[in-house]
Amino acid sequence: MLSIGKLSKATGVKVPTIRYYEQIGLLPEPGRTSGNQRLYDRPTQERLAFIRHARDLGFPLESIRELLSLSDSPDQSCAAADEIAGRQLAAVNARIARLSALRDELERMLHQCASGTIAGCRVIEVLGNHELCAHDHREVDADDAP
């Protein structure tokens, strides 16, 4: 049995994150000592390592929840897991495409800048007027959504 600190050290997941995963149901409620200290068993450590690895690969928490649910039924087909991983791969490819477009735009902006004064600086000009960009690379944040 591991304390939360030892579990954190063993998995590389910070203590507040472990508590959060418990709160949202990704990890089961831990056992407690008579002094009310959390105690974690080996299966919980393995589950947390699974979550950590999935997060490192960029999976959103809801997909991780689905994958954990699937892993709890080892005899079923892995088609659903493949579909979830496929969605993640598509999201990564879309992110890479967007980052490539951003890189290209920044390179274009810098290449066009004559390194004179701010009054004639292409970087400042392009940042001030999105229409001067070669691509529409705006990302809609939740705060920007109507």
> 2: helix, coil or strand?
strand
Q: What is the pLDDT of residue 88?
A: 96
| pLDDT, tens digit, 9 for 90 and up, residues 78-130 | 999 999 999 999 999 999 999 998 898 888 888 877 677 777 777 787 778 77
Identify residue 111 by its one-letter amino acid code: H
Q: What percent of the chain has pLDDT over 90?
A: 55
Helix (H) or strand (E) holding 31: strand 31-32
Query: Is the pLDDT assigned to residue 59 strictly greater than 60?
Result: yes
| pLDDT, tens digit, 9 for 90 and up, residues 11-37 | 999 999 999 999 999 999 898 888 888
Joined together, the tokens standing for residue 90 give 């598509």
The domain spans of the chain are 4-71, 79-132
- The listed CATH number (1.10.1660.10, 2.170.150.20, 1.10.1370.30, 3.90.850.10) that belongs to domain 4-71: 1.10.1660.10
Q: Which residues contact 45 (CB under 8 A, 6 or more apart)?
A: 2, 7, 10, 11
Joined together, the tokens standing for residue 48 give 């947390």
Joined together, the tokens standing for residue 106 give 């920044």
Beta partners for 32? 38
Please state whether 12 falls in left (phi above 0), alpha (psi between -120 and 50) or beta: left
Q: What is the pLDDT of residue 131?
A: 79
Q: Which residues contact 76 (CB under 8 A, 6 or more apart)?
A: 70
Task: Provide the greatest CA pair distance for the chain.
Answer: 70
Please report which confidence band the pLDDT of residue 146 belongs to, taking 50, 70 and 90 as the band edges. very low
Q: Which residue has the higher pLDDT, 134 or 81?
A: 81
Q: DSSP H helical segments within the chain, as ranges?
A: 4-11, 15-23, 42-56, 61-71, 79-112, 122-128
Joined together, the tokens standing for residue 2 give 């591991």
Quote the Cα angle for 9-14-19, to 5°: 115
